[in-house]
Amino acid sequence: MSIIKLTPEEQATKLEAVLSKYRGQGQKALMATLQQSQEIYGYLPLDVQKKVADALEVSVAEVYGVVSFYSFFSLKPKGENAFSVCLGTACYVKGSQALLDKIESSLGIKVGDCTEDLKFSISACRCVGACGLAPVVLVNDEVYGRLKPEDIPGIIAKYKEEA
Amino acid sequence: MDMVNLTIDGVQVSVPSTYTVLEAAREAGIKIPTLCYLKDLNQIGACRVCLVEVEKARALAAACVQPVAEGMVVHTNSPKVRATRKNTLEMILSDHNIDCLSCIRNGNCELQSLAEEYGIRKVTFNGIKSSSIIDDKSFSIVRDSSKCVKCGRCVAACKKQSVGVLSFLNRGFETSVGPAYDISMADAPCIYCGQCIVSCPVGALYEKEETEKVWDAINDPSKHVVMQVAPAVRAAIGEEFGLPIGTRATGKMFAAMRRLGVDKVFDTNFAADLTIMEEGTELLNRIKNGGVLPMITSCSPGWIRFCEFYFPEFIPNLSSCKSPHEMEGALIKTYYAQKNNIDPKDIVVVSVMPCTSKKTEAAREQLVNKDGLKDVDIVITTRELARMIKQAGLNFNNLPDEGPDPDFMGEYTGAGVIFGATGGVMEAALRTVADILEDKDLPDIEYKAVRGVENDIKEATVTLGGKDIKVAVAHSTAAARELLTKIKNGEANDYAFIEVMGCSGGCVCGGGQPIVKAQDLMDIDLRAERAKALYEEDAIMPQRKSHKNSQVMKLYEDFLGEPNGHLAHELLHTTYAQKEIYPENLVK
């Protein structure tokens, strides 16, 4: 999922459009509403969860319950450059945990978190269907395969330059 | 109705086709154990304790969700069923904090009973326990997740109230139950009704205990301890001592309270009668002077919090009357203190309430008098009073029948008694308002249209002083939400007066009342059984109208002046303020 950069006003307008589509529909529309809301913001901050709860007439705790259940939903913002490390079976046996450790130590954040300047974030994912390239790391939509931990600093440097 | 025939443990039964196997077995006199099941509230087949064997079925079935079918043959007690249930229980216990002896639910825990019934002698599985917290930050409710069995009964109860602060959080082994972001109940938009507590089968949710504070006050010779008790307590406290549900234990309750060693025992019913004088006058003034209508009652602190969080636009509709025990507290520290020449600073007012929200209410900044003294110092629930009685070694059932102390604030009428049941405040108010408007002592005083638990919202048109007035009664905050939403949408705008009680059935089923096991709730409507005790007391009272309470009249004469007068306003009325739901600064 690529992150569309929107101004806060544009985000609010788009969210309003999503909410008006599902208003009053209750629990059954919760997944769809959350998914589309996350597309707008890149994650689901409290404020957005409250608006979703209001629109669907469910409680904030119920919304949070669903958000915290599914790993697809994120409570934290994604960085401009989102590192996603595959921990699927093939990548894992080829050493992707070491890649994840290296990315964490290089960026100084843990998996699931985002740097304070919102430039980088790390997540772990399951199989991305590129097992032939294991171990695989995705940065945004770019796939990097057959990596070793020593390759990581170079990749990070590349995105730091771009930023 | 379509009936189906089935065989359960060799017994032929014929039951409606809508029944579950659990209900059919119950009818056949066969007990199937349950844990997550709570009639009408939580029927989700999650805990697997009610598993039964259905012949020709692929696997064991959860009786609480398994519909009956024609010709079905069920075994509830086969070796396979017993072994599987036992295994399930051992799994639940493997992630349960087993400190039963010091647990608040020791002796009244559904999991403990099941462990006993299934002869669990050791916990076979010793794995990692899920991480847990004790959240005791609120004034009302403590959450100990180490006891939680994730049955979902509290989540269902909270949702049924249309409050929904409790939800399942996270996933798998990390699953817990709590408010969004796992914040404290003190920071969540919780109304503290305590329905989660009375729904919990174990000790994962309970009231913030304050019995030690009461003992300390009693043991402090410099303190003058005045204990007051709400009407609903008498309708349930007997259950804690093995008396049948619905037993009216008024006399023994007063005898027990007195024997705890407090200095004075009063009935909050006195202040309920006073509430009617104040609230009735307020209503008449609002009608006469074009004030905000409908006026909505303010006795239930759960409802007040609900209004402040979820319907702040209705705050002007709330009666400005304090709840009865707060009125009583305010008067104990002024009127009673003066009459007895006691320094109010030395008085400790203890309220015994069927309610957990009252604990938080007593801490409201609006309920502190001009000398900085709280109207009510300590609130304990019916359950806590029962514990104190047990700690004092009193044989409750053998106590003589006594009443409240007679001095100054000891009298009460039948109108005060029925405050504890849904429709009771409305009925009490109508009895007095009708008399005032007609200027007579009207003989018809039973307003049956506002009684009962069949409907969550009750409507009636009453003739007061030759004028038809429309009133409504809502019990449970879900019913309040439904009614207020209608009013907001302009679908119902001709009510003059509305009674709201936060709990379904009213205070008799408040969150501070004795906890009845799910199995015992299968055959009865607890709300109706307990309410009966109050209407029974009302019927035998020599006076059944609040304005006939001679001590209330004397209070106005000697001290307060007029209802809604200057001093009455200062002592007996209060204000409300909107509360924010999940403010941004609560979570990172």
Same domain, B69 and B181: no
Cite the beta strand spans of B201-320 per DSSP E: 205-207, 224-229, 264-267, 295-296
Which residues 66-105 of A are in CB contact (within 8 Å) with B?
A: 68-70
pLDDT band at A4; cut points 50, 70, 90: low
- Does B169 contact A65 at a Cβ distance shorter than 8 Å? yes
Percentage with pLDDT > 90 across chain A: 80
CATH number, residue B60: 3.10.20.740
Residue B578 lies in a domain: no
Whether B193 and B270 share a structural domain? no
| pLDDT score at B118 | 95
* CA–centroid distance for A144 within its chain: 18
When CB atoms are compared, the residue of B159, B165, B584 closest to A46 is B584
In a domain, B308, yes or no: yes
DSSP code for B245: T
Same domain, B343 and B368: yes
Please name the residue ranges forming H helices in B341-413.
357-361, 382-391
| Segment B270-321, tens digit of pLDDT | 999 999 999 999 999 999 999 999 999 999 999 999 999 999 999 999 999 9
| Whether B181 and A64 lie within 8 Å, measured CB to CB | yes
Helix (H) or strand (E) holding B470, with range, is strand B467-475
CB contact under 8 A, B164 and A49: no
pLDDT at A1: 42
pLDDT at B123: 86
Does the beta carbon of A60 lie under 8 angstroms from any beta carbon of chain B?
yes
Spatial neighbors of A25 by CB under 8 A, at least 6 apart, are A56
The mean pLDDT value of chain A amounts to 92
**Mean pLDDT, to the nearest integer, of B331-350?**
97
Residue that has been written with the tokens 């009583």 in this structure: B328
Residues B398-439: tens digit of each pLDDT: 999 999 999 899 999 999 999 999 999 999 999 999 999 999
Three-class SS of residue B29? Answer: coil
Contact B168 A50 (CB under 8 A): no
Using alpha carbons, select from B414, B410, B426, B400 the residue that is nearest to residue B540: B414
Residue B153 lies in a domain: yes
The total number of structural domains in chain B stands at 3
pLDDT of residue A54: 96
Strand extents, DSSP E, B340-466: 347-353, 378-381, 457-464
Residue B586 has pLDDT above 90, yes or no: no
* Size of chain A in residues: 163
Q: Residue holding tokens 């804690």?
A: B240
Domain boundaries, position B175: 95-123+130-207
Chain B residue numbers with beta carbons less than 8 Å from the beta carbon of A70 are 171
Average pLDDT, integer, range B516-544: 97
Interface membership of B556 toward A (CB under 8 Å): no
Q: Pick from A46, A47, A64: which is nearest to B167 by CB?
A: A64
Which residues make Cβ contacts (< 8 Å) with residue A92, sequence separation at least 6?
A: A86, A135
* B230 and B308 share one domain: yes
pLDDT at residue B95 greater than cutoff 80: yes
**Torsion angle of the four alpha carbons A84, B584, B484, B473, in this order, in degrees rounded to the nearest 10:** 100
* pLDDT band with cut points at 50, 70 and 90 for residue B391: very high
- Examine residue B117 and state whether it is found in any structural domain, yes or no: yes
Mean pLDDT for all residues in chain B: 96
pLDDT in tens, B431-480: 999 999 999 999 989 999 999 999 999 999 999 888 899 999 999 999 99
Instruction: Report the distance separating Cα B248 and Cα B233, nearest Å.
Output: 9
Distance CA B327, CA A76 (A): 48
Tokens representing A78? Answer: 């994604």
Give the span between the Cα atoms of B285 and B458, in whole angstroms. 24
For A69, which residue in chain B has the nearest alpha carbon? B170
Residue B587 lies in a domain: no
- Mean pLDDT for the stretch of residues A80-86: 93
Domain containing residue B433: CATH number: 3.40.50.1780
Are residues B311 and B422 located together in one domain of the fold? yes
A49-73 pLDDT, tens digit each: 999 999 999 999 999 999 999 988 9
d(Cα B120, Cα B376) in Å, to the nearest integer? 46
Same domain assignment for residues B28 and B99? no
Give the pLDDT score at B124: 86
Do both B192 and B311 map to the same domain? no
Residue at B303 is within a domain: yes
Report the half-sphere exposure of B332 (CA within 13 A, side-chain side): 32
User: Is B410 touching A (CB cutoff 8 A)?
Assistant: no
- The answer to whether the beta carbons of residues B145 and B132 sit under 8 Å apart is yes
Determine the average pLDDT of the residues in B357-385: 97
Average of pLDDT values for B344-362?
98
Q: How does pLDDT run across B201-256, given as a tens digit for each residue? A: 999 999 999 999 999 999 999 999 999 999 999 999 999 999 999 999 999 999 99
Pair (B167, B267) in one structural domain = no
- Say yes or no to pLDDT of A3 above 80: no
Structure tokens at B356: 């957990």
For A161, phi and psi rounded to 5 degrees? -60, -45
* B549 and B417 share one domain: yes
Across B402-456, where does the E strand assignment appear?
Answer: none
Torsions phi, psi for B131 (to 5 deg) = -70, 150
> For B401-404, which contacts have Cβ atoms below 8 Å and span 24 or more sequence positions?
B401/B250, B401/B251, B401/B252, B401/B254, B401/B255, B402/B251, B402/B254, B402/B255, B402/B258, B403/B250, B403/B251, B403/B254, B403/B267, B404/B254, B404/B265, B404/B266, B404/B267, B404/B270
Are B546 and B432 a contacting pair, CB within 8 Å? yes
B282: tokens are 């307020």
The proportion of chain A whose per-residue pLDDT surpasses 70, expressed as a percent, equals 97
> Do B48 and B172 belong to one domain?
no
β-bridge pairing B347-353 and B224-229: parallel
**What is the structure's pLDDT at A163?**
60
Pairwise CB contact (< 8 Å): B165 & A61: yes
A81-162 adopts what CATH topology? Glutaredoxin (3.40.30)
Is the same domain home to B106 and B134?
yes
Q: Which segments within B288-445 are labelled E, that is strand? A: 295-296, 347-353, 378-381
pTM of the predicted model as reported, rounded to 2 decimal places: 0.93
Question: Is residue A140 left, alpha or beta, with left meaning phi > 0 and alpha meaning psi from -120 to 50?
Answer: left
Nearest residue on chain A to B179, alpha-carbon basis: A61
Residues B57 and B115 reside in one and the same domain = no
For residue B481, the chain A residue with the least C-alpha distance is: A57
What is the tens place of the pLDDT at every residue in B471-485?
Answer: 999 999 999 999 999
End-of-domain residue from the set B207, B226, B250: B207
Which tokens go with B370? Answer: 């001009």
C-alpha B146/C-alpha B141 separation (Å) is 15
Structural domain spans, chain A: 8-69, 81-162
Q: What is the rounded distance in angstroms from the CA atom of residue B406 to the CA atom of residue B551?
A: 10
